[in-house]
Amino acid sequence: MTRTQAAALARLEPALPKGVLAWCHHSVCFGAFCGVVQAGDLTIEILPKLQGSLDDPDGTRRCLVAMLRLAGERLAATIDVADLALHQHHLLDVFILDFCRRTTTLLHRGPIRRYVDEEENLTKLRGRLHLPGQMRHNLVNQARLYCRYDEFSLDNAHNRALKHALRVMLDLAVGGAARREANVLLRRLEDVAAMKVRAEDVEALPFDRTIAPWQPLFTRAAAFLRNLHPDVAAGGAASFGLLFDMNRLFEAFVAAVAARDWGREGRRVVAQGPQRYFAAHGDASVFRMRPDIAVLDREDHVLLVADAKWKAVDAGLADLGLAQGDVYQLAAYAARYDCQQVALLYPSSPAMPAGLMRRYALKDGHGTDLLAYGLDLPALIAGERLPLPPHRPFGNRAYATKT
């Protein structure tokens, strides 16, 4: 990284989430985020550390996109991991290529055309005569008619927003494939006026029944534009930061996998809930609790509460190096949700193999188990089942309820 590139990155830093960058001696470190940062002529692809991924950035990129899709991230909602051949593309281009291909599909079904008001000086009447314009332009030349009419046109607010988003993507694209696809679409929109559009403008566009299929694409365009930041010091050139908090992404991903694998045989998986309060002060409930994942039975009794943590732990230690605060929180969940199994879920690593690594017996007088798992993310993405808690099947209420 050159000094000029470092300066451009430093100017972008205030627009990035807190904790993304840490400046060290002649180096920069990135926090628990993944994604893409582009400042000046510098483009940085930030990929998560996954077990076995240090020598396989292509596989890591594939896993990241799959995690984003499973977690419900709208920019990755329609990405076909196999179809896009991720090993050939930078992460930023993956999002751009998918956007372009969804746009192409919709254009084949028919572009957006809207009625727009037009005014023109004509030799024949079209629409209606606009008297103020007629007086202003044709007071002497009575052979011409100043008309106002509705035109069913490609040049409308929706297509102007789409064209601007594609123009931005063309400028940001890293590889030739993404630039080519953006260029092809821009040529199809040559009759649309070029205008700068903000994310807020895109979000404010109305969608009726006739163009409803386009709305998800415009939602993604707005999300993309929201990550664009003008660099005043560089003459207004755009910097870009598309970043995902790995803590939140891991939580959402594990919740989706838990719903897929544990939400069976009458069980129900709840993400970020059910919410309860730990204490009361007079008539007021205080200290709201919101676990990452809860498994409930048909009667809505809580069978298990789990928290997902994007942290490194060490199976060589008796306590795995677990944060005491995380353990105390799970013990509080066990007490308040009246369940005898709680779990901490971590990404597997060389120091934390996949599977159940510890089963701690909490000294709470109720026989509560605290389970610590390492999760093999590529295997879960490939369809491997999330392991069930041992010895105490979900369906056995004798294990799920304290007496």
Burial bucket for residue 103 (CB in 10 Å: 0-12, 13-18, 19+): buried
Burial bucket for residue 362 (CB in 10 Å: 0-12, 13-18, 19+): middle
Residue 216 has which token pair? 């998800």
Do 196 and 160 form a contact (C-beta atoms < 8 A)?
A: no
Q: Distance between CA 36 and CA 167 in Å, rounded?
A: 18
pLDDT tens digits, residue range 7-48?
888 888 888 888 888 888 888 888 888 888 888 788 888 888
Across-strand partners of 302?
296
Across-strand partners of 44?
37
φ, ψ at 4 (rounded to 5°): -65, -45
Q: Distance between CA 182 and CA 99 in Å, rounded?
A: 9
Strands 293-296 and 302-308: antiparallel
Closest-CA residue to 223 (of 168, 159, 155, 157): 168
Can you tell me which residue has the tokens 């069978």?
A: 303
Positions in the chain whose pLDDT score sits under 50: 234, 395-403
Report the chain's terminal Cα–Cα distance, integer Å: 62
Across-strand partners of 343?
306, 371
Q: Distance between CA 341 and CA 305 in Å, rounded?
A: 7
Residue 42 has which token pair? 């510098």
Can you tell me which residue has the tokens 């993310």?
A: 377
Q: Distance between CA 158 and CA 209 in Å, rounded?
A: 15
Q: How many CA atoms lie within 13 A of 116 on its CB side?
A: 15
pLDDT tens digits, residue range 59-83?
788 888 888 888 877 677 666 655 5
Q: Distance between CA 84 and CA 86 in Å, rounded?
A: 5
Torsion sign over Cα 393, 345, 78, 51: negative
Instruction: State the angle between helix axes of 57-70 and 246-262 in degrees (0 to 180), rounded to the nearest 10.
Output: 70
DSSP SS3 for 73:
coil
Residue 297 has which token pair? 């039975």
- CB crowding 220-243: b at 16 or more within 10 Å, else e: bbbbbbebbbebeebeeebbbbbb
Q: Distance between CA 48 and CA 103 in Å, rounded?
A: 29
pLDDT of amino acid 246: 92
Can you tell me which residue has the tokens 């939400």?
A: 263
Q: What single-letter DSSP state applies at residue 113?
A: -
Q: Distance between CA 304 and CA 395 in Å, rounded?
A: 11
Across-strand partners of 372?
344, 358
Can you tell me which residue has the tokens 């006026």?
A: 193
Neighbours of 293 (CB within 10 A): 23
Do 65 and 154 form a contact (C-beta atoms < 8 A)?
A: no
Residue 143 has which token pair? 């052979």
DSSP SS3 for 354:
coil
Q: Distance between CA 42 and CA 207 in Å, rounded?
A: 37
